[in-house]
């Protein structure tokens, strides 16, 4: 490393911090802080400044650590221990939102943990700015207070109870099943027992590695409402971020020129309802499994009920064929990343019997960037999601070239039209046309 890089990073941090400060002061906006009741959510117009600051400060910190300490930090698996304890014993809900906090003794009594163990958990969490300690009392920070949100708490429960132990067996899975594309030959969410309050956890590696259970994670959730609820909270926490806003879908230019849409795997119809609300000329059919759509159409506003309908359909059933024929658009939003190429190709091919010439298929998914194309902290988030797909489904987040290859492999008559990445969206939109009679 040249000495000039330290000065370059210093300049980036200084200039970007001043730009951020000036913008916040000019617009009378709060300064980011760790304290309870504050927020660090910055407006979109500050994203470039935020990217520069986060990447530069991270790089500077990494440069200043000796390689051994740097690697120790990367392998800090212990970070999840106090976080798992915090959500399992609902510590955020037991710390007062206002006032001078709660003593360790009072908090231990409320949680059922020993005071000594609770103090150890929380003082580790405090080093990560989750809670703070003032005069021997525990108080909230912005991060700990955020965990009062049941959806964010469900996300952390899923991460610590499911993903954490599963991640430790990913390499075992790819060693046992090299090159597999089967969803039941990966770690998944499978535990032989799943009583969150107990110690009797037996991880099944890839549905068969430990105890021979061949269920998929979907089968497991059907029989375990508690885990299903936590996973649903995780999906809610992700789907309600600005980056996942349905505005990125409804503002796409194709909707003005079509009338009928099929939302394949459309869950409870949120995307369909958003499309029908913004575009009054659209008629949308939502397809999903019977257990998903049961009763969901009953509360639709009268002005939308005539244009949004629900249909039971399993797009991976044996010999499945798309039942709604001649629609203008078939939408697959956040579906194919759950499936390996083998099954994604099958899903696309199942559409073919229904497609008229010129019909569009819209795939709304992450488009993985080339290395270095995004700020490093954002690229790392995407790479993390890719590892999640491997862990859970034996699938992946794909780059544009991988998407194009997948589409062509499904059928050469699927013609790639364009890929769009809306500003501020986590998902890109890949438009393909059926070029056959």
Q: What is the set of active-site residues?
A: 337
Task: Specify the 3-state DSSP secondary structure of 6.
Answer: helix
Question: Smallest Cα–Cα separation from 336: which of 268, 409, 282?
Answer: 409
Look at strands 132-134 and 137-139 and give their pairing.
antiparallel
**DSSP single-letter state for residue 415:** E
As a whole number of angstroms, the distance between CA 321 and CA 343 comes to 14
Strand stretches in 135-269, DSSP E: 137-139, 260-264
Tokens for 175, please give them: 């060693």
Residues pairing with 141 in the sheet: 35
Containing 22, the helix (H) or strand (E) segment is helix 3-26
C-alpha triplet 352, 356, 357: angle, nearest 5°:
105
Question: Smallest Cα–Cα separation from 159: which of 237, 239, 54, 245?
Answer: 237
Main-chain dihedrals φ then ψ at residue 109, nearest 5 degrees: -65, -40
Helix axes 3-26, 47-64, angle to 10 degrees: 140
Look at strands 329-333 and 428-434 and give their pairing.
unpaired
Question: Smallest Cα–Cα separation from 314: which of 328, 283, 340, 335?
Answer: 335
C-alpha triplet 143, 147, 148: angle, nearest 5°:
125
Containing 414, the helix (H) or strand (E) segment is strand 414-420
Q: SS3 letters for 366-381?
A: CCECCCCCCCHHHHHH
Q: What sign does the CA torsion over 286, 287, 289, 295 have?
A: positive
As a whole number of angstroms, the distance between CA 418 and CA 433 comes to 10
C-alpha triplet 130, 234, 278: angle, nearest 5°:
120
Q: What sign does the CA torsion over 58, 64, 67, 70 have?
A: negative
Tokens for 159, please give them: 């991460």
């Amino acid at each position: 490393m040249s000495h000039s890089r330290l000065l370059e990073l210093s300049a980036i941090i200084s200039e970007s911090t001043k730009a951020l400060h000036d913008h916040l002061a000019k617009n009378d906006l709060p300064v980011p802080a760790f304290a309870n009741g504050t927020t660090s959510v910055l407006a979109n117009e500050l994203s470039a400044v935020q990217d520069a600051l986060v990447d530069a400060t991270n790089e500077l910190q990494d440069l200043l650590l000796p390689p051994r300490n740097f690697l120790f930090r990367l392998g800090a698996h212990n970070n999840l221990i106090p976080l798992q304890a915090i959500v399992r014993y609902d510590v955020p809900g037991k710390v007062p939102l206002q006032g001078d906090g709660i003593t360790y003794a009072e908090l231990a009594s409320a949680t059922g943990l020993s005071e000594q163990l609770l103090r150890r958990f929380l003082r580790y969490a405090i080093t990560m700015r989750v809670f703070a300690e003032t005069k021997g009392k525990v108080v909230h920070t912005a991060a700990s207070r955020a965990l009062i949100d049941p959806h964010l708490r469900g996300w952390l429960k899923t991460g610590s109870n499911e993903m954490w132990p599963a991640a430790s067996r990913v390499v075992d899975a790819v060693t046992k099943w090299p090159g597999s594309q089967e969803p039941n030959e990966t770690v998944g969410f499978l535990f032989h027992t799943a009583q969150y309050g107990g110690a009797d956890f037996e991880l099944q590696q890839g549905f068969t590695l430990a105890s021979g259970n061949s269920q998929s994670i979907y089968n497991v959730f059907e029989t375990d409402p508690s885990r299903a609820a936590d996973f649903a909270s995780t999906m809610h926490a992700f789907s309600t971020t600005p980056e996942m806003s349905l505005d990125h879908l409804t503002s796409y230019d194709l909707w003005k020129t079509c009338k009928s849409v099929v939302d394949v795997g459309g869950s409870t119809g949120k995307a369909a309802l958003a499309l029908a609300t913004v575009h009054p000329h659209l008629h949308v059919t939502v397809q999903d499994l019977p257990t998903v759509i049961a009763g969901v159409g009953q509360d639709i506003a009268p002005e939308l009920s005539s244009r949004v309908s629900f249909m039971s359909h399993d797009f991976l059933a044996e010999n499945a064929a798309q039942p709604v024929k001649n629609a203008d658009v078939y939408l697959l939003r956040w579906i194919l990343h759950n499936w390996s190429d083998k099954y994604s190709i099958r899903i696309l091919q199942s559409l073919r019997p229904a497609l008229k010439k010129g019909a569009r298929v819209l795939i709304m998914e992450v488009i993985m960037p080339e290395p270095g194309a995004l700020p490093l902290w954002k690229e790392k988030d995407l790479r993390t999601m890719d590892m999640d797909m491997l862990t859970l489904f034996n699938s992946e987040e794909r780059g544009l070239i991988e998407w194009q290859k997948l589409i062509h492999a499904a059928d050469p008559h699927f013609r790639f039209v364009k890929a769009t990445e809306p500003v501020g969206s986590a998902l890109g939109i890949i438009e393909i046309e059926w070029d056959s009679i």
